Chains A and B, each alone.
Chain A
Amino acid sequence: MINVEAVYWLVGILFVAWASLIAADTNHPRRWGGSAFWGLLGLCFFYSTWVQAGTAPAWILGVAVLVLVVLASTGLLGNGKHRTSTGPEREAYAKRFGNKLFIPALTLPLVTVILVLVAPLLNIGGTPLLDPKNTTLVALAIGAVAAVVVALVILKPKNPATPIFESRRILESIGWAALLPQMLTTLGILFTKAGVGTAVGNLASGLLPKGSLIAGVLVYCIGMFLFTVLMGNGFAAFPIMTAAIGWPVLVQTFHGDPAIVFAIGMLAGFCGTLCTPMAANFNLVPSALLEMKNKYGVITAQVGTAIPLLAVNIALMYFLAFH
């Protein structure tokens, strides 16, 4: 079986490979800081396998993660001016290869989706071939490898390590933002353990005037929205807002249809995800990937949709869920 841990090792190997390229790059402005950060990040991916299995102490990984944060936030990372093809060279290549360039780009989603769809059928003597709990992740990694192979076959670069060289360029432009989504998940866990959710739930139910349906709907939906903005995802907000208001007020007191109340409540939370830097993998990593000047530019583009959509959700819940 191809386990999801194998995928994490692939990612770890990539980080270590990029780190060694940076270490070997004598022109890099922050050669040692950069290679230390990416190399240590790679090692953390390996070590995590044993932490997940419960066979290695987690605090060592915790120390390593804090070292990563220090390396990244003290400007030791730097961005090497890695030489890539120039504009005119790219134009010439584009003329030469034409639409063939799209084949590797389409191989990736195609292989991924096909693997996800046929995964239930793939097994060796009853053991599934792809980790059934993480089919998408495993399929994505296989798709990525397949796409690189296809690209090498079609484009025949002089150096077969071109994919690694060129991806280092993208990685360095993303920089420390690559670590942020995982740090935010950790923050979410710490918030939950420390009881932030309980506090917010108390606050929300304290704000609620008794006996008003529209107030209940407003506090539930806006609460889902705001709490999601704070936590970065609706999954953390849902149990708390539902325990505080969704269930006791909207379903028990006002006899709302639970399927409608909860489905739309969650979607009100998704509107919050569009507005928050805490959802770094959706909002900050893309602006880094696209090399935007304003790292909040993706959020700016989304707020104008999120707010009216929140209003629509409030109206839908109010008019559909209560008869």
Chain B
Amino acid sequence: MTDLTDAPAPTLKDPSRVPWEGIVMLVLIGVLLVIVGFAIRLNPLIVVTVAGIVTALLGGMNPAQILESFGTGFASSRSVTIFVAVLPVVGIIEFFGLQEQAKTLIGRLAKLTAGRVLIGYLAVRQITAAVGLTSIGGHAQTVRPLVFPMAEGAALRRYGHVPEKISEKIKGHAAGADNVGVFFGEDVFVAVGSILLITTFVDTTYHLHLEPLQLALWAIPTAIAAFLIHGFRLLRLDKQLDKEYREFELTAQKETAGEAK
């Protein structure tokens, strides 16, 4: 995910030294700013930038150091923006009707529902991530061009048309299936960032010797639980969508009835 593997080991201040606490706690104002900013729905970019500057000032950094941090932070985190490199291919195949084709293809398979399409994707995503193939999927490369249109195509076949409210719900769950699959699949693979972070941090700080394989092994129960919980919710999603569609039809009927008067 991110490369914070070389984050310095924290040195905890002795909590009994009360005079320290006030100063240490002051930096939490930045965290508070983030929570309030997101809660009142300010533009997240502004929230994050202001919180960063305030926290840095409270932490005793001067303006030059803060600017420097914004620069090095940007430069070292460019990897998270690499997804834009896949937009050109997604753009051209969408122009030529990929989403429509994905819908048609799913529409032919009568037994598929939005929830079942997403369970299938969840399973594929989790299993491939567990053998180290996390790069096989992703929001830009698979969810937008393939997974969401397929799930929506299944809903289209079932309901005849897909109201926006249902479409929104399918979108959220299409992205959710990708996240749950990759998060709780990749940790079963030994050479993944989070496992290596645990071993390097623990081995250097506490002089233990943990094998990545042991950690990966103990990630399996949670991986299974994640599949069961999320899979169950996706099965229920179909029922929720059915219910929402019935409500949608009822209100639509009422509206047309109202117009007739």
Q: Do A and B bind each other?
A: yes
- Chain A residues within an 8 Å CB radius of B139: 285-286, 289-290
In the complex, A215 has a CB within 8 A of chain B? no
Q: A164-B91, A236-B7, A290-B143 are in contact. List 13 more A-B contacts (CB 8 A).
A: A8-B82, A69-B49, A90-B100, A102-B146, A192-B7, A235-B5, A242-B202, A258-B210, A259-B214, A262-B210, A270-B183, A285-B139, A297-B172
Question: Is the pair A163, B144 in contact by a Cβ cutoff of 8 Å?
Answer: no
Question: Given A136-B135, A287-B172, A305-B180, A182 and B97 touching (CB < 8 A)?
Answer: no
Selected contact of A305 from candidates B15, B135, B233, CB within 8 Å: B233
- Chain A residues within an 8 Å CB radius of B72: 51, 58, 61, 189
Question: Is the pair B59, A258 in contact by a Cβ cutoff of 8 Å?
Answer: no
In the complex, B257 has a CB within 8 A of chain A? no
Question: Is the pair B4, A258 in contact by a Cβ cutoff of 8 Å?
Answer: no
Q: How far is the CA of A281 from the CA of B82 in the complex (A)?
A: 11
Closest partner residue, chain B, to A290 (CB atom) = B171
Selected contact of A233 from candidates B2, B86, B132, B180, CB within 8 Å: B2
Question: Is the pair B27, A301 in contact by a Cβ cutoff of 8 Å?
Answer: no
- Chain B residues within an 8 Å CB radius of A223: none
Q: List 10 A-B contacts (CB under 8 A).
A: A94-B101, A139-B135, A185-B80, A186-B70, A194-B59, A230-B31, A233-B4, A267-B222, A274-B183, A287-B171
Q: Quick one: which of B92, B173, B214, B226 has the most chain A CB within 10 A?
A: B92
Question: Given A243-B9, A283-B179, A193 and B59 touching (CB < 8 A)?
Answer: yes
- Chain B residues within an 8 Å CB radius of A260: 218
Closest partner residue, chain B, to A230 (CB atom) = B31
Question: Is the pair A238, B201 in contact by a Cβ cutoff of 8 Å?
Answer: yes
Question: Is the pair A199, B27 in contact by a Cβ cutoff of 8 Å?
Answer: yes
In the complex, B93 has a CB within 8 A of chain A? yes
Q: How far is the CA of A11 from the CA of B75 in the complex (A)?
A: 13
Question: Is the pair A166, B88 in contact by a Cβ cutoff of 8 Å?
Answer: yes
Q: Taking the nearest CB of chain B, how far is it from the CB of A16, in angstroms?
A: 12
Question: Given A48-B74, A259-B214, A263-B187, A10 and B85 touching (CB < 8 A)?
Answer: yes
Q: State the total of A-B contacts with C-beta under 8 angstroms.
A: 463
Q: Taking the nearest CB of chain B, how far is it from the CB of A320, in angstroms?
A: 7
Selected contact of B75 from candidates A48, A92, A198, A283, CB within 8 Å: A48
In the complex, A22 has a CB within 8 A of chain B? no
- Chain A residues within an 8 Å CB radius of B81: 11, 45, 178-179, 181-182
Question: Is the pair B91, A239 in contact by a Cβ cutoff of 8 Å?
Answer: no
Question: Is the pair B87, A170 in contact by a Cβ cutoff of 8 Å?
Answer: yes
Closest partner residue, chain B, to A266 (CB atom) = B194
Q: Taking the nearest CB of chain A, how far is it from the CB of B79, in angstroms?
A: 6
Closest partner residue, chain B, to A292 (CB atom) = B171
B118-132 Cβ-contact flags toward A at 8 Å (1 or 0)? 000000000000001
Q: How far is the CA of A8 from the CA of B44 in the complex (A)?
A: 24
Interface of B is mostly: helix
Chain A, 162-217, CB within 8 A of any chain B CB: 162-171, 176-203, 205-206
- Chain B residues within an 8 Å CB radius of A127: none
- Chain B residues within an 8 Å CB radius of A93: 95-97, 100
Chain A, 25-58, CB within 8 A of any chain B CB: 44-45, 48-49, 51-52, 57-58
- Chain A residues within an 8 Å CB radius of B104: 94
B229-259 Cβ-contact flags toward A at 8 Å (1 or 0)? 1100100000000000000000000000000
Question: Is the pair B44, A202 in contact by a Cβ cutoff of 8 Å?
Answer: no
Question: Is the pair A312, B12 in contact by a Cβ cutoff of 8 Å?
Answer: no
Question: Is the pair A183, B48 in contact by a Cβ cutoff of 8 Å?
Answer: yes
Selected contact of B229 from candidates A61, A167, A309, A316, CB within 8 Å: A309
Q: How far is the CA of A48 from the CA of B4 in the complex (A)?
A: 18
Question: Is the pair B171, A202 in contact by a Cβ cutoff of 8 Å?
Answer: no
In the complex, A60 has a CB within 8 A of chain B? yes
Question: Is the pair A101, B93 in contact by a Cβ cutoff of 8 Å?
Answer: yes
Enumerate the 10 nearest inter-chain pairs by beta-carbon distance, A residue then B residue, closest first.
A194-B59, A166-B91, A186-B73, A58-B71, A94-B97, A61-B71, A62-B67, A301-B172, A163-B88, A48-B75
Closest partner residue, chain A, to B79 (CB atom) = A137
Q: Taking the nearest CB of chain B, how far is it from the CB of A2, in angstroms?
A: 13
Question: Is the pair A262, B24 in contact by a Cβ cutoff of 8 Å?
Answer: no
Q: How far is the CA of A184 from the CA of B217 in the complex (A)?
A: 31
- Chain B residues within an 8 Å CB radius of A284: 44
Question: Is the pair B86, A244 in contact by a Cβ cutoff of 8 Å?
Answer: no
Q: How far is the CA of A147 from the CA of B94 in the complex (A)?
A: 13
- Chain B residues within an 8 Å CB radius of A230: 31, 34-35
Q: How far is the CA of A4 from the CA of B81 in the complex (A)?
A: 13
Closest partner residue, chain B, to A176 (CB atom) = B45
Q: Quick one: which of B59, B91, B146 has the most chain A CB within 10 A?
A: B91
Question: Is the pair B222, A264 in contact by a Cβ cutoff of 8 Å?
Answer: yes
Question: Is the pair A202, B100 in contact by a Cβ cutoff of 8 Å?
Answer: no
In the complex, B84 has a CB within 8 A of chain A? yes
Question: Is the pair A297, B67 in contact by a Cβ cutoff of 8 Å?
Answer: no
Q: Taking the nearest CB of chain B, how far is it from the CB of A250, in angstroms?
A: 12
Question: Is the pair A289, B10 in contact by a Cβ cutoff of 8 Å?
Answer: no
